[in-house]
Amino acid sequence: MNQCLLCQQDFYDPLTFQDVFSWSPLLPTSMCSSCQQLFTWQKNSQGPQCQRCQKITEKQVCLDCRHWQKLYPHYSGSHRSLLVYNPSLQEWFHQYKFQGNKQLAHSFQKQLYLFLSNYKNVIFVPIPISENRMKKRGFNQVEQLLKYAKIPYKNLILRTIESDSQTSKTKQERISGTNPFKLNKQMITDMKDDCPMSFIIFDDVYTTGRTMYWAIETLQEIGEIEINTCSLARG
Q: State pLDDT tens for residues 168-183.
A: 666 666 677 899 999 9
How confident is the model at residue 16, as a pLDDT? Answer: 67
Confidence of residue 145 (pLDDT cuts 50, 70, 90): very high
The answer to whether residue 53 sits within a structural domain is: yes
The answer to whether residue 164 sits within a structural domain is: yes
How confident is the model at residue 46, as a pLDDT? Answer: 84
The answer to whether residue 34 sits within a structural domain is: no
- CATH code at position 138: 3.40.50
Q: Span 123-133, mean pLDDT?
A: 95
The answer to whether residue 16 sits within a structural domain is: no
Q: State pLDDT tens for residues 37-86.
A: 999 999 998 889 999 999 999 999 999 999 999 999 999 999 999 999 99
The answer to whether residue 105 sits within a structural domain is: yes
The answer to whether residue 82 sits within a structural domain is: yes
Check if the beta carbon of residue 22 is closer than 8 Å to that of residue 6.
no
The answer to whether residue 222 sits within a structural domain is: yes
Domain count across the chain = 1
DSSP the chain: -EE-TTT--EE--PPPHHHHHSSS--PPP-S-HHHHTTSEEGGG--S-B-TTT--B-SSSS-HHHHHHHHH-TT----EEEEEE--HHHHHHHIIIIIS--GGGGGTTHHHHHHHHTTS-S-EEEEPP--HHHHHHHSS-HHHHHHHHTT--B---EEE-S----GGGS-HHHHHSS---EEE-HHHHHHS-TTS-SEEEEEEEEESSSHHHHHHHHHHGGG-S-EEEEEEEEE-
How confident is the model at residue 161, as a pLDDT? Answer: 86
The answer to whether residue 35 sits within a structural domain is: no
With 90 as the cut, is the pLDDT of residue 146 above it? yes
Confidence of residue 167 (pLDDT cuts 50, 70, 90): low
Q: What percent of the chain has pLDDT over 90?
A: 77
Host domain of residue 75? 48-234
With 70 as the cut, is the pLDDT of residue 219 above it? yes
With 60 as the cut, is the pLDDT of residue 20 above it? no
